[in-house]
Structure 1
Amino acid sequence: MTARLSLLFLALSLAPLAANAHPHVFIDAGLELSYANGDLRQVQVEWAYDAFYSLLIIEDLGLDPDGDGVLTSEEMRQLQGFDADWEPGFDGRLFLTAQGQPVAMGPGRDFTARYQDGQLISTHIRTLEEPLKGDIPLMIQVYDPEYYVQFSMPSAPVITGRALCRMERQTGDPAAAAKAYDAAVEAALADDGSAEAEMLAVDIGNVGADQVQITCEAEG
């Protein structure tokens, strides 16, 4: 595994390596919520990586050597699953909450990837461990608690298999996340005078995260 790919997996599933240098990766997340028989069953997740980080990964994989932005069929085959190496129990940076409780989901599956207009775009599916009744209000957030990756949801989720749903979107505040991160690092250093800022792992939770509230009317 190359150095930058190792950093990618650290960015997605482990604690950050360097303090006061966040975020390192920017990802626009797109979601598609799939309902069946009135219940939410799964969420398809799309991650669009920023152009600079996309280029680093493409280079580390040895793809697109002519730099024309077009991958051959063999290169596309090599690209598949480039970000699928999740640590056991990794939350996928997708958080669903219903009636104040987290909604349990299985690990990511059915990973696909493409290289489009200079960006790496990957998709995967998260299946709910138990179907969620569609008329229960749902809160969705996508964020990295360690703030190594800055996630955003530029578009509202797509809903399939369910009608009469309304969404309330709230855009997060990256400045608040950065401030919370700096405060957490400062507190950790104060607590442990021998700690080195570059090696600290801190958790800022969902500070500054985008969020969507979904409410669907009862069917039948």
Structure 2
Amino acid sequence: MQKLSHRVNVIPVIGRSDSLTVSELKGFKKRIMEDIQHYDIPVYNFPYDVEEDDEETIQENQELRSLLPFAVMGSEEEIEVDGELVRARVYPWGVAIVDEPDHSDFSRLRSAVLGTHLHDLKSLTEDVLYETYRTEKLSRNTPYSEARESTMLPEDLANQSVRLKEEQLRKEEEKVGLREIELRVQREIHEKRQQLLAKEESLRNLESRLTAQGSDSVIGSPTY
């Protein structure tokens, strides 16, 4: 995992978690996270910024982080539960449903990887992991690069290193800029939504007053 984490986003998962009891699973999760921290393995832990992210995003990431490592199960068998076909495993003691949050973290993991956090995972792969790998490849001492470097002046080597650093900084600045734009758009959408809700409330109040006034005029009208 140490080597793998420098090339791809690593999300720890426990397979066939339905074979463990609730207490066993809890203890197993705890031991895995302790090992990850002890060996300083960089995993994707659903990061968030308290100062920049909204409360909903922070809460969602905290919940996902608390589930690490995700306890998942799979099944190709479909059974009918409450009139609906679901993927599940049937045991003498009961049924373990794949997409049931109380039975497995599969649905939360799928939603995060393929939905809410897909963009962030792709950005980390492209802007951090790939750029780190690319820099390592360019700076690695191979027979060809050693022969080439032997013909390069010290100033040229320094300039090459500076260019690599500048390119990496530019990528990081672009990422920060995109994040700021995303946050600004989210704030604008939130403000527009609040304005629309306020207008709807105002229209409902106006409609209620008009309905009440109409009822009063009918009740108080003279009869001929």
TM-score (normalised: structure 1): 0.29
- Name which one, 1 or 2, has greater alpha-carbon Rg: 2
More helix by share: 2
TM-score (normalised: structure 2): 0.29
